[in-house]
Amino acid sequence: MMHGIVNSSCEATISLVVSNTNRQTHLIDAVIDTGYTGFLSLPREIIVTLNLPWTGFDRGTLGDGSEVTFEVYAATIIWDGQYRNIPVNEAETDPLVGMSLLYGYDLYIRAVEGGNVTIKPVE
């Protein structure tokens, strides 16, 4: 089970450890975005700091209907106490956790500032 918090902007957030192939790590606070179907997005600054390996491109549709192309990188995160290799989309926003990472988990949000965010495996 993982825990996060609802921030002052009413965003459900969770802290994640992201690492590269050399196990260099970076702690991030990510916003949970149920409209994002990818795994994780990170800004270029974090991708460069971790020297994440580039794996290709991905296409996506934004909330306004426009289509974009993302650069994709490989990363390892600690998810539910386990190392997990995932694709990361480069995006100049706050880091986002998407539905592909949440797949197979229940998400509970107490939607008030300071409210608890709980992510646990589907039973």
The residue type of 23 is R
> How many C-beta atoms lie closer than 10 Å to residue 115's C-beta?
15
Q: Please, which residues bridge with residue 88 across strands?
A: 40, 73
pLDDT of amino acid 89: 97
pTM of the complete model beyond 0.75: yes
Write down all domains in the chain, each with its CATH number in brackets: 15-103 (2.40.70.10)
User: Tokens in use for 40?
Assistant: 């994780």
Indicate the pairing of strand 25-32 with strand 105-109: unpaired
Convert the pLDDT of each residue in 8-44 to its tens digit.
Answer: 999 999 999 999 988 889 999 999 999 999 999 999 9
Distances in whole angstroms, Cα of residue 90 to Cα of each of 11, 33, 45, 121: 20, 15, 10, 27
Our measurement of the distance from residue 43's CA atom to the centroid of its chain's CA atoms, rounded to an integer in Å, reads 11
